[in-house]
Chains A and B, each alone.
Chain A
Amino acid sequence: MVAPGGRLMDAIVETFRWLTDAASWTGPRGVLARSLEHLWISLVPLASAMAVAIPAGVLAGHHRRGQAVGAAISNLGRAVPSLALLVFGLLLSVRVLGLGFSFWPIVFTLFFLALQPLFTNSYTAVREADPALLEAARGQGLSERDVLLAVELPVASPVILTAVRITAVQVVATAPLGALAAGGGLGRFIIDGFGQKDDGQMLGGVVLVAVFALLVEFAITRLERRVVPGPLQGRTDAAAVVATGRAN
Chain B
Amino acid sequence: MTDPMIRLDGATKTFPGTSTPAVDALSLEVPTGEIVVFVGPSGCGKTTTLKMINRIIEPTGGTITVDGVDVRDREPHLLRRDIGYVIQQIGLFPHRTIAQNVATVPRLLGWDEDRTRARVDELLVTMGLDEELGARYPAELSGGQRQRVGVARALAADPPVLLMDEPFGAVDPIVRGRLQVELLDLQARLRKTIVFVTHDIDEAIHLGDRIAILNVGGHLEQYAPPEDILREPATPFVEEFLGPERGLKRLALRTVADLGELGLGNCVQADASVEEAAQVAAEHQERWIGILDGDRLRGWAWVSDLDGARRAGDVETSLFRVALSAEDTLRAALDGLVRSRTGVAVVLGPDQRYDGMITLARLNQAMVS
Instruction: Give chain A's interface residues, CB within 8 Å of chain B.
Output: 130, 132-144, 146, 150-151, 154-155, 229-232
Give chain B's interface residue range (CB within 8 Å of chain A): 20 to 34
The reply to whether B56 and A231 form a contact with Cβ atoms under 8 Å apart is no
> Given A146-B108, A155-B94, A232-B95: A132 and B87 within 8 A (CB)?
yes
Which residues on B sit within 8 Å (CB–CB) of A144? 77
**A137 smallest CB distance to B (angstroms):** 7
> Given A132-B87, A132-B89, A146-B108: A140 and B95 within 8 A (CB)?
no
> Given A138-B80, A142-B77: A231 and B94 within 8 A (CB)?
yes
The reply to whether A136 and B105 form a contact with Cβ atoms under 8 Å apart is no
- The answer for the CA separation of A130 and B88 in the assembled complex, in Å, is 13
The reply to whether A135 and B95 form a contact with Cβ atoms under 8 Å apart is no
Q: Is B92 an interface residue (CB 8 A)?
A: yes
- Find the A residue at minimum CB distance from B138: A231
> Given A139-B80, A140-B153: A133 and B95 within 8 A (CB)?
no
**B50 smallest CB distance to A (angstroms):** 11
- The answer for the CA separation of A151 and B95 in the assembled complex, in Å, is 8
The reply to whether A231 and B139 form a contact with Cβ atoms under 8 Å apart is yes
**B195 smallest CB distance to A (angstroms):** 13
The reply to whether B93 and A133 form a contact with Cβ atoms under 8 Å apart is yes
- The answer for the CA separation of A68 and B222 in the assembled complex, in Å, is 48
Which residues on B sit within 8 Å (CB–CB) of A150? 93
- The answer for the CA separation of A146 and B89 in the assembled complex, in Å, is 20
Q: Given A142-B104, A146-B77, A232-B94, output 19 extra A-B contacts at Cβ < 8 Å.
A: A130-B89, A130-B91, A133-B92, A133-B93, A133-B94, A136-B87, A136-B89, A137-B93, A138-B77, A139-B80, A139-B85, A139-B87, A140-B104, A141-B80, A141-B81, A146-B108, A155-B95, A231-B94, A231-B95
Which residues on B sit within 8 Å (CB–CB) of A136? 85, 87, 89-92, 150
**B138 smallest CB distance to A (angstroms):** 8
- The answer for the CA separation of A133 and B96 in the assembled complex, in Å, is 12
Q: Is B54 an interface residue (CB 8 A)?
A: yes
- Find the A residue at minimum CB distance from B88: A132
The reply to whether B95 and A142 form a contact with Cβ atoms under 8 Å apart is no
> Which residues of chain B in 161-184 are interfacial with respect to chain A, using CB atoms and an 8 Å cutoff?
163
- The answer for the CA separation of A154 and B97 in the assembled complex, in Å, is 13
The reply to whether A230 and B54 form a contact with Cβ atoms under 8 Å apart is no
Q: Is B78 an interface residue (CB 8 A)?
A: yes
Tell which of B56, B78, B92, B138 touches A139, judged by Cβ atoms closer than 8 Å. Answer: B56
- The answer for the CA separation of A239 and B335 in the assembled complex, in Å, is 53
**A96 smallest CB distance to B (angstroms):** 44
26 contacts between A and B (CB under 8 A): A130-B91, A132-B90, A132-B91, A133-B94, A135-B87, A136-B85, A136-B91, A137-B91, A137-B93, A139-B80, A139-B87, A140-B80, A140-B81, A140-B85, A140-B153, A140-B154, A141-B80, A141-B105, A142-B77, A142-B108, A143-B77, A150-B93, A154-B95, A155-B95, A230-B137, A231-B139
> Which residues of chain B in 34-93 are interfacial with respect to chain A, using CB atoms and an 8 Å cutoff?
54, 56, 76-81, 85, 87-93
Question: CB-CB contacts of B91-124 with A at 8 A, as 1s and 0s?
Answer: 1111110000000110010000000000000000
**B99 smallest CB distance to A (angstroms):** 14
**B96 smallest CB distance to A (angstroms):** 8
- Find the A residue at minimum CB distance from B137: A231
> Given A140-B80, A140-B153, A141-B81: A229 and B95 within 8 A (CB)?
yes
Most buried by A among B88, B95, B163: B95
Question: CB-CB contacts of B264-288 with A at 8 A, as 1s and 0s?
Answer: 0000000000000000000000000
